[in-house]
């Protein structure tokens, strides 16, 4: 085997390895800088990816962890809502599904919900029912089209994102959210605008914060917070995960956004 051919095979293998970790989401033309926010994680393992969409600067805490694929938990509701709207499995953000009467972990889940209220309260049963309505074939098609993490939905149509087969890195989460901000996903602009509106968690004179938490409920050992913040000076996307809860991940994101003077009350 000649030298050029060996070089080509080695290069291809390296590219495949990078693709498997989500590293490409932090590559390209972006300027990556290290985030020094150890204190915010209070001794727990985790990562944060923060990107300024105005100048493409990326700030990362724990770069290796940012490439590690983990189960998305309830942050997948963002993609699930987009797919549900695009496939007409749900008419709009106001369509209501009736509560089945089964008592679940959180009182706020035990009532009728719309697509928007179930996003806000993170009512898993609503989005599980939505996934069943979408069906395995269409779900698989769209998860592949949006290149969502490892694109593996074999863990069951109503549970593949919950401590199961689907996995995604923080770098890939930030990339997905950036495409949503830019309305560059394979969904109608109307549906992308709808989901971005559903993600609003705080709206003030100087900023609008859009986000979604996720927690691995089996052991509270994995928490996510992903989203973006629109300010007068530009838009930033972020993705945080921690060996903890979604609430902890959200608190870290807000603390860093305030420290960086991105979020100003």
Straight-line distance from the first to the last Cα atom of the chain, in angstroms, rounded to the nearest whole number: 63
Q: Of the listed 74, 114, 122, 169, which one is catalytic?
A: 74
Query: In 3-state terms, what secondary structure has residue 164?
Result: coil
In the residue annotation, 74 being an active-site residue is answered as yes
Query: In 3-state terms, what secondary structure has residue 150?
Result: coil
State both tokens at 20.
Answer: 């498997």
CA distance 21 to 169: 7
Name residue, tokens 């085997």.
Answer: 1
Q: Residue 150 class from Cβ within 10 Å (0-12 exposed, 13-18 middle, 19+ buried)?
A: middle
Given a contact cutoff of 8 angstroms between Cβ atoms, the answer to whether 127 and 114 are in contact is: no
Closest to 95 (Cα-Cα) out of 235, 20, 194: 194
Beta-carbon contacts of 162 under 8 Å, excluding residues fewer than 6 positions away, are 71, 73, 124, 155, 216, 217
CA distance 203 to 207: 6
Q: Which residues are the active-site residues? A: 74
């Amino acid at each position: 085997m000649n030298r050029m051919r060996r070089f080509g095979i080695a290069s291809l293998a390296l590219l495949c390895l990078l693709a498997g970790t989500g590293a490409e989401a932090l590559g390209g033309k972006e300027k990556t800088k290290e985030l020094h926010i150890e204190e915010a994680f209070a001794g727990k393992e985790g990562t944060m990816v923060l990107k300024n969409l105005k100048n493409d600067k990326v700030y990362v805490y724990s770069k290796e962890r940012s490439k590690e694929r983990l189960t998305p938990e309830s942050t997948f509701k963002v993609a699930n809502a987009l797919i549900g709207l695009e496939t007409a499995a749900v008419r709009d953000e106001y369509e209501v599904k009736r509560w089945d009467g089964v008592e679940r972990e959180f009182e706020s889940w035990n009532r009728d919900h719309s697509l928007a209220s179930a996003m806000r309260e993170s009512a898993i049963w609503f989005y599980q029912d939505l996934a069943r309505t979408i069906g395995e074939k269409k779900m698989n098609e769209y998860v592949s089209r949006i290149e969502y993490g490892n694109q593996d939905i074999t863990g069951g149509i109503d549970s593949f994102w919950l401590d199961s087969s689907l996995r995604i890195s923080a770098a890939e989460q930030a990339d997905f959210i950036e495409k949503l901000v830019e309305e560059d996903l394979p969904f109608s602009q109307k549906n992308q605008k709808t989901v971005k509106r559903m993600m609003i968690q705080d709206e003030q004179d100087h900023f609008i914060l859009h986000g979604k938490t996720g927690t691995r409920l089996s052991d509270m050992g994995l928490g996510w917070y992903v989203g973006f913040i629109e300010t007068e000076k530009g838009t930033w996307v972020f993705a945080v995960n921690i060996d903890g809860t979604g609430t902890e991940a959200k608190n870290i994101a807000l603390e860093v956004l305030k420290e960086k003077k991105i979020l100003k009350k």
